[in-house]
Chains A and B, each alone.
Chain A
């Protein structure tokens, strides 16, 4: 028989875990983001040091020059834990799936100026390797970072960048009608063609940055800010004038992702800068270095995509990024 539980008194002894209650100073109900994130990473009594680098503990706040009063101040404003992250991305991808379907079914690429499509193939498609570099950088932070707040978000960024690399590849496959010819030579072009070498050098240099927080800022704020700002913020929308709307449709996921990712990284940098003037100065120095390098590196790509409009577009991208950095206190 069915028991009527309403008449049984089921009294709660507590609302949340002890470490969460101590953080809030009170035992109040906690969100799934909070319970799945705060203090989940061990901080004490590590048994052995890494065999590849015994200078550090397994998780060690000294792997970066940034100092935080509380590493869990670096929360993700999107409040992503595993479930909400995957559900958000699946939803975004559903929309882009419809866009690809529309572009392919209605042969919408036939309506685009072939010169614009040639540029997409020439410049945008090889940039899948840029995303792949970003995947590796963020994988490194997933291990090297300190505290679940930052490392889980880095893990999501790692997955995002594999996703972006694959999405760009898929744009290539749409351009070449699925025979793969647009993708065959991209690695050779990325490593050999003059216009990519500046950016590739920046990417490879980011792969060997020792300080994980510097790598986090360089990749997800400074260099992305310039590269993505140029390609997806300036060039792709400008291509709409050449009938490029179908290309914009295929890039919609990336546009939406940029807004989403910026919310996260901006929140993190702002919190780190706010924690001390030393942090703010350190971050500002890193920002300046990597922003300048990226700006120099993408010039030939800007010209490849935007011809005569390149210089003013890049100046605008840089100005916007500087304004963003100023808002976060790292200019």
Chain B
């Protein structure tokens, strides 16, 4: 018998204590190299942290437990993906128009998951406190999971449908995809605290129900079992991410009063940036799902006005208020999906997915969901375009739009309170004029002109000859579009889908 073990009964440390040993207990303050050189990005944003030990670990996950849970989830998920592929589950979608939402997802959202993976890698390196650092590292892993499970899910759709085959390429080149790309480029070029506010809090906590949930619910409603399964499978990861996002905000606010105005400014910025990007989701929900879940307006009311309102009421004790222009965003919920779909309808010849006009039934649904705006402002436009289609003059806009220098969306949005006038704002910086779609976007630029003046604006780049050549044909070739654009009516997707349906009808007699 030896001295260490003899006769001793096993004492179990409380979980919290044990977890402390397994994370914070690993830390030491470096001395051969100064701490500010080891963690060089910890201070330059002006956030003051006095005591990292005050950090409360929102979940106590050791690495072995992480491997075990995640491996189990992956085994189940990939079994479903394999079955879906084997059974050609895509033939059971409500309609092939649905697939266009997934094209938007793979080209617009999945690359952001990838950027989140790298961004959380950065935060997981630079956060000087062990607790948040470990949490960020696990989120970095999770985000890699999300981008890869999404690619692997969509890999099967890519074999049959247009619009998937050049997703990374399109993400970096396609004009409307500079909206999500610049959003995340902005976040990862910020310091670790702003990144956490932007992605961990504003995006994952405040707005995720308006991005992830509509896509996954849309999949469930439209017979896409593979997408629905990765959505469900990601939920427990997302729950961790939301908890982390909120914890970081509270931690910064509790550590020093001087952090409050910095954090508020970031919340204002990232709320507006998020709102602008989610306009793509708005149009997806109202126009692209053959079987709709709810309207964008309803989703905004439920997830932002109510849930977000309760959150900000809770944060009021720290001196945090609702994001600036929240009321403008709420008012825009009546318009944004219609205005966005109109933009994409006009520019489908230069897009990586198909568009179409809503049917009579769909227009009636929109009237019911948007009683104050749809019939008055948007139905007449769709009626006109339908007349033009009947005459064989489907409307494609061959001009190039002016883009907002912040959100990079074509300047097609209207003035708050005046849905018949386009909103224009501008600022001067270093002798150049920059244009914006809204006060929110102008404020963001004015706060960091040295950053936003760097933006790679697709339309500017096309005019400068940096996108394949001088003609529309050159640009489309540079995008590597191959039957992915134009109206749904004349698409390969529709032709194939109709053949499948005819085949099914023959079989079922």
Residues of A within 8 A of B (CB): 1, 3-5, 7-19, 32, 35-36, 39-52, 58-59, 81-83, 86-87, 89-91, 93-94, 97, 104, 107, 109-110, 112-114, 117-118, 121, 128-129, 131-132, 135-136, 139-140, 142-143, 148, 151-152, 155, 158-159, 162-163, 165-167, 169-170, 173, 175-180, 183, 186-187, 190-191, 200-201, 204-205, 207-208
Cβ of B78 < 8 Å from any Cβ of A? yes
Contact assessment for B172 and A45 in the assembled complex, using a CB-CB cutoff below 8 Å: yes
Flag the segment in B181-189, B244-252, B329-337, B385-393 that touches A: B181-189
The CA-CA distance from A158 to B91 in the complex, in Å, is 41
Query: Mind listing 14 A-B residue pairs with CB under 8 Å?
Result: A7-B507, A9-B503, A13-B492, A17-B164, A44-B172, A47-B185, A49-B454, A51-B44, A83-B77, A83-B145, A113-B2, A139-B140, A162-B137, A191-B31
Residues from chain B with Cβ under 8 Å of A58 in the complex: 185, 188-189
Cβ of B200 < 8 Å from any Cβ of A? no
Instruction: Contacts A51-B191, A81-B148, A114-B2 given; indicate if A178 touches B12 (C-beta within 8 A).
Output: yes
Residues from chain A with Cβ under 8 Å of B77 in the complex: 83
A58-B188, A175-B5 given; 8 more Cβ-contact pairs under 8 Å: A52-B191, A107-B5, A110-B6, A142-B124, A142-B140, A169-B26, A177-B9, A204-B38
Contact assessment for B182 and A47 in the assembled complex, using a CB-CB cutoff below 8 Å: yes
Contact with A along B182-214 (1 / 0, CB 8 A): 100110111100000000000000000000000
Interface positions of B from 105 to 145, Cβ below 8 Å from A: 111, 114-115, 117-119, 121-122, 124-125, 133-134, 137-138, 140-141, 144-145
Residues from chain A with Cβ under 8 Å of B88 in the complex: 5, 10
Q: Which of the residues A8, A42, A143 comes within 8 Å of B504, measured between beta carbons? A: A8
The CA-CA distance from A166 to B33 in the complex, in Å, is 24
Interface positions of B from 7 to 27, Cβ below 8 Å from A: 8-13, 17-18, 21-22, 25-27
Contact assessment for B185 and A204 in the assembled complex, using a CB-CB cutoff below 8 Å: no
Rounded to whole Å, the gap between the CB of A1 and the closest CB of chain B is: 7
Contact assessment for A90 and B508 in the assembled complex, using a CB-CB cutoff below 8 Å: no
Residues from chain B with Cβ under 8 Å of A48 in the complex: 182, 185-186, 189, 451-452, 454-455
The CA-CA distance from A36 to B133 in the complex, in Å, is 26
Return the chain B residue nearest A152 by Cβ. Answer: B144
Cβ of B398 < 8 Å from any Cβ of A? no
Flag the segment in B155-163, B317-325, B356-364 that touches A: B155-163
The CA-CA distance from A73 to B31 in the complex, in Å, is 38
Cβ of B152 < 8 Å from any Cβ of A? yes
The CA-CA distance from A331 to B151 in the complex, in Å, is 39
Return the chain B residue nearest A140 by Cβ. Answer: B125
Rounded to whole Å, the gap between the CB of B446 and the closest CB of chain A is: 16
Contact assessment for A139 and B125 in the assembled complex, using a CB-CB cutoff below 8 Å: yes
Rounded to whole Å, the gap between the CB of B174 and the closest CB of chain A is: 10
The CA-CA distance from A239 to B5 in the complex, in Å, is 18
The CA-CA distance from A67 to B67 in the complex, in Å, is 34
Residues from chain B with Cβ under 8 Å of A46 in the complex: 185, 456
Return the chain A residue nearest B12 by Cβ. Answer: A178
Return the chain A residue nearest B125 by Cβ. Answer: A139
Residues from chain B with Cβ under 8 Å of A129 in the complex: 26, 28
Contact assessment for B121 and A8 in the assembled complex, using a CB-CB cutoff below 8 Å: no
Residues from chain A with Cβ under 8 Å of B53 in the complex: none
Contact assessment for B507 and A8 in the assembled complex, using a CB-CB cutoff below 8 Å: yes
- Scoring B91, B159, B188 by chain A CB atoms within 10 A of each residue's CB, the highest score goes to B159
Contact assessment for A87 and B74 in the assembled complex, using a CB-CB cutoff below 8 Å: yes
Residues from chain B with Cβ under 8 Å of A204 in the complex: 30-33, 38
Q: Which of the residues B74, B125, B152, B155 comes within 8 Å of A86, measured between beta carbons? A: B74
The CA-CA distance from A99 to B287 in the complex, in Å, is 57
Contact assessment for A36 and B151 in the assembled complex, using a CB-CB cutoff below 8 Å: yes
Contact assessment for B67 and A208 in the assembled complex, using a CB-CB cutoff below 8 Å: no
Rounded to whole Å, the gap between the CB of A32 and the closest CB of chain B is: 6
Residues from chain B with Cβ under 8 Å of A81 in the complex: 148
Cβ of B297 < 8 Å from any Cβ of A? no
Instruction: Contacts A129-B28, A159-B63 given; indicate if A143 touches B121 (C-beta within 8 A).
Output: yes
Residues from chain A with Cβ under 8 Å of B171 in the complex: 42
Residues of B within 8 A of A (CB): 1-6, 8-13, 17-18, 21-22, 25-33, 37-38, 40-41, 44, 62-64, 66-68, 70-72, 74-75, 77-78, 87-88, 91, 111, 114-115, 117-119, 121-122, 124-125, 133-134, 137-138, 140-141, 144-145, 147-149, 151-152, 155, 158-161, 164-169, 171-173, 178, 181-182, 185-186, 188-191, 451-452, 454-456, 461, 480, 492, 496, 499-500, 503-504, 506-508
Contact assessment for B147 and A40 in the assembled complex, using a CB-CB cutoff below 8 Å: yes
Rounded to whole Å, the gap between the CB of A56 and the closest CB of chain B is: 10
Contact assessment for B28 and A16 in the assembled complex, using a CB-CB cutoff below 8 Å: no
Contact assessment for B500 and A10 in the assembled complex, using a CB-CB cutoff below 8 Å: yes
Q: Which of the residues A14, A82, A83, A169 comes within 8 Å of B25, measured between beta carbons? A: A169
Contact assessment for A82 and B21 in the assembled complex, using a CB-CB cutoff below 8 Å: no
Q: Which of the residues A40, A59, A107 comes within 8 Å of B168, measured between beta carbons? A: A40
- Scoring B119, B144, B178 by chain A CB atoms within 10 A of each residue's CB, the highest score goes to B144
The CA-CA distance from A107 to B4 in the complex, in Å, is 11
Contact assessment for B152 and A40 in the assembled complex, using a CB-CB cutoff below 8 Å: no
Contact assessment for A45 and B155 in the assembled complex, using a CB-CB cutoff below 8 Å: no
Contact assessment for B189 and A158 in the assembled complex, using a CB-CB cutoff below 8 Å: no
Return the chain B residue nearest A176 by Cβ. Answer: B4
Return the chain B residue nearest A163 by Cβ. Answer: B63
Rounded to whole Å, the gap between the CB of B273 and the closest CB of chain A is: 12
Instruction: Contacts A12-B160, A13-B160, A169-B25 given; indicate if A163 touches B125 (C-beta within 8 A).
Output: no
Contact assessment for A51 and B190 in the assembled complex, using a CB-CB cutoff below 8 Å: yes
The CA-CA distance from A158 to B451 in the complex, in Å, is 31
Residues from chain B with Cβ under 8 Å of A114 in the complex: 2-4
Contact assessment for B118 and A142 in the assembled complex, using a CB-CB cutoff below 8 Å: yes
Residues from chain B with Cβ under 8 Å of A132 in the complex: 26-27
Contact assessment for A87 and B165 in the assembled complex, using a CB-CB cutoff below 8 Å: no
Residues from chain B with Cβ under 8 Å of A5 in the complex: 87-88, 91, 504, 507
Residues from chain B with Cβ under 8 Å of A90 in the complex: 67-68, 70-72
Residues from chain A with Cβ under 8 Å of B62 in the complex: 166
Return the chain B residue nearest A81 by Cβ. Answer: B148
Residues from chain A with Cβ under 8 Å of B148 in the complex: 32, 36, 81-83
Contact assessment for B155 and A16 in the assembled complex, using a CB-CB cutoff below 8 Å: yes
The CA-CA distance from A82 to B172 in the complex, in Å, is 24
Contact assessment for B114 and A32 in the assembled complex, using a CB-CB cutoff below 8 Å: no
Query: Closest 10 A-B residue pairs measured CB to CB?
Result: A142-B121, A90-B71, A163-B63, A8-B503, A114-B2, A83-B74, A143-B122, A36-B148, A139-B125, A132-B26
Instruction: Contacts A16-B158, A169-B25 given; indicate if A208 touches B37 (C-beta within 8 A).
Output: yes
Contact assessment for A110 and B144 in the assembled complex, using a CB-CB cutoff below 8 Å: no
Contact assessment for A155 and B13 in the assembled complex, using a CB-CB cutoff below 8 Å: no
Instruction: Contacts A14-B165, A114-B4, A158-B124 given; indicate if A87 touches B75 (C-beta within 8 A).
Output: yes
